[in-house]
Amino acid sequence: MRVELFEVHFNNSNSIYIGGQTVSGKVVVKLSKATWIDSIDIKFTGRAKSKWDVSNGDSSKQYKATEVYIDSEHHLYRCRGENDLQPAGLHMYPFDFTLPPDVPSSFEGRRGFVRYLCVVTLDRGWKGVLQIEQDLTVIRHLDLNQVHNAGLPQNLEREEVYEGCCCDSGDVSAYLQLPKSGYVPGEPLNYNLVVYNKATSSICGLVMNLIQTVRYTGYSDSLFSSGNPKYHDKVNSWTLMQADDEIAPGKTATYSTHCVIPAVAPSLLEGCNIIDINYELHVEVPVGWRTIQMCCAMFIGTIPLRQTRTTSTAPTIEEPVADSGLPPVSRHNFDLPPSYEECVFGRMESQELEPGEDVDDDDDDVSAARGAAGSSSATASRRSRLHRLPSYPYYSFESPSNSTAALATPVTTAHSVAGHTNSSATTSTALSSNSYPDPPPLPQGDHQGYMPLPIMEQPTYTSLPPPPSYESLGLNG
């Protein structure tokens, strides 16, 4: 074996780049003896692809689409004649390539992807071709300061009247407050969640999820196709908070804490026209055979809000700012570069994939990575292709905890409910269909290093909005 080493090294060790940056490095070749090499080429590619099948009885129709962002090839070495041998030893071939500034962020999904690759080819003529590939992660920043409504607070309220078997019945109300709508991975999501149990049975299993809805666009190449785009929604869920404590009849549970936004792709996936990403926060409170569901739109960016935007109801600078009742947002030096974390949804999806199910199973652009010594088997190459997981900016905030998913413990208070009395309660307040007790006071603590939130509207307990429509969320696809 004359080629003992054939590798590509990037000056940026984590291979993560921002659109507009220069990708630089060197190709390293080690020869055991003088060897004739025809050429060494390096190619940078970037593209998006979507693909899925729709079955209809015995037949199926395939929808797919492709966008190309980068397709650039460079010559690192060219042979000047038959007697032009590369001497034995270590050889380095430097390269650099500037990424376009407006390319979309890397993304891996079950029905599509945005991928950036560096492929190096060493041509030895009749002795064959050696080829290696290296994945690049490209980030297109989404500045939350430029996103409309990202700084606006969220106030949600829902009530469910339930009638169960064995004469179980009653009302359950839930109220959720968020200080804003835009977050970055690693940022604490402060929330205030209050659940009033006026039913005659306990509530257990409250959960808060971050919902990612990915919409893929594709076209059919069928002869009878209309040529119009078709859409396919894929929904992923990540648990932010789970409360397994029971909320007994006549009790009120208050969850006033925070959870951490995980590493996920930015909203919208700007620059890509065939893949769109949106996020929502879902809170589910099981009530008998039903479930109270509250949801609100979320924006996940790569550059955090520098200051919280205020609504027209916020006080002026001369007026005192009232306590919002939520844990304040931590201060952070946003000028410091963030770290990078692997996408949590990518990790989940890669575990689901089976051999032959990769969305890119017909990709002819590049060969699987293989070294000159032949150390990578076909199985290993296949596995490496299934686990291309991009990493995204992940900020480190000053917060009491860095856990991604929290097991919440509520602060409970007891009240009397018609037909049920809690003897352990030291004080009780009568509940009626038009009257609710004030939420328990939030725990006070040392918030040194935090900045206060703007005033937020308190929930109106006497008027409840109609249930939202979930068809528009893409949860039925």
Backbone angles phi, psi at 127, to 5 degrees: -80, -5
Q: Look over the chain and give the mean of its residue pLDDT values, rounded to a whole number.
A: 75
Q: Say how far apart CA 358 and CA 212 lie, in whole Å.
A: 20
- The mean per-residue pLDDT over the stretch 384-403 comes to 66
With a CB cutoff of 8 Å and minimum separation 6, the contacts of 112 are 48, 49, 50, 51, 214, 216, 274, 275, 359
Q: Say how far apart CA 109 and CA 113 lie, in whole Å.
A: 6
Lowest mean pLDDT among 53-62, 136-145, 152-161: 53-62
Q: Which residue, chain included where needed, has tokens 């659109």?
A: 19
**pLDDT digits 0-9 by tens, 92-105:** 999 999 999 999 99
**pLDDT digits 0-9 by tens, 262-295:** 999 999 999 999 999 999 999 999 887 788 899 9
**pLDDT digits 0-9 by tens, 292-310:** 899 999 999 999 998 644 3
The predicted pLDDT at position 368 comes to: 34
The predicted pLDDT at position 202 comes to: 86
The predicted pLDDT at position 409 comes to: 52
Q: Between these two residues, 259 and 169, which has the higher pLDDT value?
A: 259
**pLDDT digits 0-9 by tens, 414-446:** 443 333 333 333 232 333 333 333 433 433 333
Report which of 186, 132, 210, 127 is spatially closest to residue 366, judged by C-alpha positions. Answer: 132
Are 433 and 173 within 8 A, CB to CB?
Answer: no
Query: pLDDT-based confidence at 411, cuts 50/70/90?
Result: low
| Domains defined for the chain, CATH in brackets | 3-140+364-389 (2.60.40.640), 144-338+395-473 (2.60.40.640)
Query: pLDDT-based confidence at 245, cuts 50/70/90?
Result: confident
Tally DSSP H helices, then E strands, for the chain.
2, 26
Q: Between these two residues, 95 and 57, which has the higher pLDDT value?
A: 95
- The mean per-residue pLDDT over the stretch 56-85 comes to 91
Q: Structure pTM? A: 0.73
Q: Say how far apart CA 167 and CA 98 lie, in whole Å.
A: 70
Which whole-number Å values give the CA distances from 49 to 18, 112, 113, in the listed order? Answer: 21, 5, 6
Q: Say how far apart CA 86 and CA 33 lie, in whole Å.
A: 8
With a cut of 50, say whether residue 327 has pLDDT above it.
no
Which whole-number Å values give the CA distances from 89 to 26, 29, 32, 71, in the listed order? Answer: 16, 8, 6, 32
With a cut of 60, say whether residue 68 has pLDDT above it.
yes
3-state secondary structure of 421: coil
3-state secondary structure of 120: strand
The predicted pLDDT at position 227 comes to: 81
Q: Say how far apart CA 354 and CA 378 lie, in whole Å.
A: 15
Report which of 367, 372, 407 is spatially closest to residue 239, judged by C-alpha positions. Answer: 407
The DSSP code for 226 is -
3-state secondary structure of 27: strand
Q: Say how far apart CA 194 and CA 172 lie, in whole Å.
A: 11
